[in-house]
Amino acid sequence: MTYATINPYTNELVKQFPDATDEEVEQAIAQADAAFRSWRESSFAVRAAVMNKAASLLRGAKNDYAKLLTLEMGKVTAEAEAEVELSARIFEYYAKNAETLLQPEKLPVDDPAKGEFTVVHEPLGVLLAVEPWNFPYYQIARVIAPQLSAGNTVLLKHASNVPQSAAAFERLMREAGLPAGGFKNLYATRAQVERILNDPRVHGVAFTGGEAAGAVIAAQAAKALKKSTMELGGADAFVVLADADLDKTVKWAVFGRHWNGGQVCCSSKRIIVVDEIYDDFMELYEKGVAALRAGDPFDPATTLQPLSSKKAADDLKGQVRQAVEHGAKAREVGPKVPSKGAFFQPTILTAVGPDNPAYRWEFFGPVSMIFRAKDEADAIRIANDSSFGLGGSVFTSDVKHGAEVAAKISTGMVFVNHPTMVKADIPFGGIRRSGYGRELTGLGIKEFVNHKVIGIPDIDAAF
Ligand code: NAP
């Protein structure tokens, strides 16, 4: 039995859940397929009503939904409530915009007198979503709001440490009026995930998680000739230029690196500061990190949550040890974090050279890699010297110039004077080893639709 809630603040096992049986998996696929046949015929107004209802149910029970996140993966209450709100906004975004985003597109053909050619966007059918634990609700909403709005149906395999959050979202969609089979959570094993992908009734997979699992799922999908989207890891650059407002920049850097306990794909994991202001930045940054308070994530005074599990904390310790063995300098910062639970002492890593394997790693927790850049051009070079390509940011008082620098950073998302942003109305995704495809907005809703041509050529046109 792998699915279990283990409170990362106490390391206590709260509840276990049996794996799905093969019969349950078969029944879920059959129901999702049957549901698709009627759901695809439903109007955008009907789908929008379900989305809006889901949003209002989330808001109506915000505290209860948030509590589950805090219990299962340690998110501090304020951030857990913000995640519930963000999920509600994603549902509302698609309630409002899905119909417009999927409008048929009349093609501007050479000679309109010779006929009319239109691309329509039709749903594909049953999809599989495989999701990580770091944003248990938001990650689901990011897939099901667009895909259900497009007329698809969805099966979910969530991370094994957030089984109650997964079940809560299935209940939510049922209560919001989604027909049975439209969205089903399965405590699926890895073998069952592969079987689902190979089932002819399933038409694609949206995966979010680490590179290793992404490569496995992408290969399985490719072998079955199914469409996939990959939202993988990142090591976002946080570039600080000489004219940046240091106080505000440091506040954003501390937040960008430590929100969600530093366990965000688009955390500011590589802070790159130009030589001129490096020492001043470091002094303020260290103070900012030292001011974080680790503790009970249910306590409003806590600003640093435990990691998601004891194993995650042990793995991160191993990564820091290896970085140091290869020449990096590690400095633990701030008051000692609690010894009980999955806490990790905030750590600043410097002197991480390009020949250190850690230079290309993602540290999933409160570990800041800080680089001194000679100048702006060097900062851009370091920012781009990464296997990942998810997000990034540039801090400067000259926002016009910030946008010019942003244009030179090679990732899926770059923000001026803000760590990589997560919003309902901005697309999300990356390049290189951060994956492919996009979630949210019109890009996300069009990932799993058939862009079908309906052509009406003039019957009298010459053969
Ligand atoms: P993970 O280990 O890759 O797990 C993600 C999901 O994949 C979980 O549901 C996991 O299930 C499942 N899984 C793992 N191996 C599998 C396999 N061989 N077959 C089928 N399913 C498999 O990632 P994680 O540690 O939970 O999440 C952290 C990673 O996700 C980080 O790298 C982070 O940057 C990335 N992430 C990316 C984004 C983005 O949008 N780009 C967003 C959030 C997180 P089990 O729990 O049962 O193993």
Contact 169, 137 (CB under 8 A): yes
- Name the band, by pLDDT with cuts 50, 70 and 90, for residue 110: confident
* pLDDT tens-digit series, residues 52-77: 999 999 999 999 999 999 999 999 99
Residue 463 has pLDDT above 90, yes or no: no
Residue 111 and residue 108: Cα distance in Å, rounded? 9
The string of pLDDT tens digits covering residues 25-47 is 999 999 999 999 999 999 999 99
Q: Per-residue pLDDT averaged across 425-434, rounded?
A: 98
Q: Which domains does the chain have, with CATH numbers?
A: 3-233+425-454 (3.40.605.10), 237-416 (3.40.309.10)
- pLDDT one-digit tens code per residue, 228-273: 999 999 999 999 999 999 999 999 999 999 999 999 999 999 999 9
So which residues are the catalytic ones? 231, 265
**128 touches 205 (CB < 8 A):** yes
Nearest CA to ligand 1 atom 42: 265
Which atom belonging to ligand 1 lies closest to the Cα atom of 312?
25
Angle between helices 190-198 and 22-39 (to 10 degrees): 40
Place of tokens 């009503």: 49
Q: How far is CA 195 from CA 129, 220, 334, in A?
A: 14, 10, 48
* pLDDT tens, residue by residue, 79-102: 999 999 999 999 999 999 999 999
User: Taking 90 as the threshold, does the pLDDT of residue 462 lie above it?
Assistant: no
For the chain, the helix, strand and coil percentages under 3-state DSSP, each to the nearest 5: 45, 20, 35
Mutate to test the pocket of ligand 1, among 6, 72, 134, 367 (most ligand atoms within 8 A of CB): 134
What CA–CA distances, in Å, run from 283 to 246, 298, 350? 11, 30, 14
Identity (one letter) of the amino acid at 136? Answer: P
Average pLDDT over residues 167-175: 98
**109 pLDDT tier (thresholds 50, 70, 90):** confident
Q: What is the pLDDT of residue 113?
A: 78
Give exposure, 168-180, as e/b (b: 16+ Cβ within 10 Å).
Answer: bbbebbeebebbe
CA–centroid distance, 336 to ligand 1, in Å, is 29
Quote the pLDDT of residue 1. 58
Specify the residue with its C-alpha closest to ligand 1, atom 26. 132
**Residues whose CB falls within 8 Å of the CB of residue 455, separated by 6 or more in sequence, listed in order:** 115, 116, 117, 118
Of 202, 217, 264, 266, the one to substitute when testing ligand 1's pocket (max ligand atoms within 8 A of C-beta) is 217
